[in-house]
Amino acid sequence: MLLALLLCYAGFTTLCLSTDRHHGALLHSKPSSGQRLALRLGGWLLLSVSIWPAVRAAGWSQGLVEWCAVLMCSALLLVLLLPYRPRLALILAGASLLASPVAAIALL
């Protein structure tokens, strides 16, 4: 479940960065249309890939339920961090992307 959590958090943060408001608050610039498209595609890709470890760990029936819980937890974490600690939210997203391969190897 750790891999699913890491991928979901990174995916939501990437989707968050595709908006002008959050991109400006976190990176102090506005994304170009190409960057916006790439961030959206990357975010949705990370969220869709995050289903795999949840289903692999617990099967389709229980895995999808656990994946929905992980989605909610990662979104809640991001929503709580953005107004108060935006830099920490960005740092955690980078750390989750760096830790994802280690969690994937541990899953195998």
Of the ranges 18-22, 59-63, 103-107, which one carries the lowest mean pLDDT score? 103-107
Task: Give the mean pLDDT of the chain.
Answer: 94
Q: What's the rounded mean pLDDT across residues 20-35?
A: 91
Provide the whole-model pTM.
0.93
What is the model's pLDDT at position 107? 80
Q: What's the rounded mean pLDDT across residues 25-49?
A: 94
Q: What's the rounded mean pLDDT across residues 75-100?
A: 94
Higher pLDDT, 90 or 108: 90
Contact by Cβ (8 Å): 58, 69: no
Residue 59, Cβ density class (10 Å: 0-12 exposed, 13-18 middle, ≥19 buried): exposed
